[in-house]
Structure 1
Amino acid sequence: MQLTQFTDYGLRSLMYLAAQPDRLCSVREIAEHYAISRNHLVKVAHRLAQLGYVTSSKGKGGGIRLACKPQELCLGDLVLALEPNMYLVECFNRAANTCTVVSACKLKHFLADASKVFINTLDQHTLDDVVISNQSVVGCR
């Protein structure tokens, strides 16, 4: 299983923001910190705002910040929100499925169970559990 880059960037952004609770952070700042595409991160930040995980302020001195406490955000919920179509295999997506043995296949049930265990494991932890201290965030790259 591999999460999309979109989800990866979303989780990293939330971790960064959780380490900076007292200020707005610019998308450029986060992108530079992680050496990732600013343009791609703009889309991620927009989606995080749509989902209510961050608030944003436009203009000079603007930026984004967490909309709630990191302890309130379960990692499994975050992954499912950012990765709504977690199709481990083709047959999980009924619209795109072309598998000829889907009706008799037993593998999909085991994979579905594994996916649930993955999310349940993440749900045992919050964003606060994975946040890097402010000093580490500011100083590392």
Structure 2
Amino acid sequence: MDITQERTEEQDLPYNVFAKACPSRGTLEHVTGRWGSLTLGALYDGSSRFNELRRRVDGVSEKMLSQTLHALERDGLVHREAQPTNPPRVDYRLTPLGREVAERVLTLVHFVEGHMDDVLTARQSYDETRGAR
């Protein structure tokens, strides 16, 4: 069954990401945005503290990671657990739903990583044909 057939069978679902007002668009944005997908992937191996995540997701600012974690927590994909210690300890982990989403995101990540030679060749060809911009 191809993706078109799957989509046709799913049209009875109450949500349609292609509809402008559908709330699933926000979640899709949280999951597929650069920081959301990298954060989900980083949490796939287990729970992490904030600074551990920040080091793992190279290049993310403290502000962006905080916003990303809040959005993913609100969507039910990440669980935040604060320990009443001094200093406070906060751990983040995937929920069961978040784990399912992360598996799918990581499938795409691994596919892209495995095809980067093709992408880089295509970029080079494009730039040579049309001129680098």
**Taking structure 1 as the reference length, what is the TM-score of the superposition?**
0.44
Q: Of the two, which has the highest radius of gyration?
A: 2
Structure richer in strand, relative to its length: 2
Which structure has more relative contact order (CA 8 Å, sep 6+)? It is: 1
**Taking structure 2 as the reference length, what is the TM-score of the superposition?**
0.46
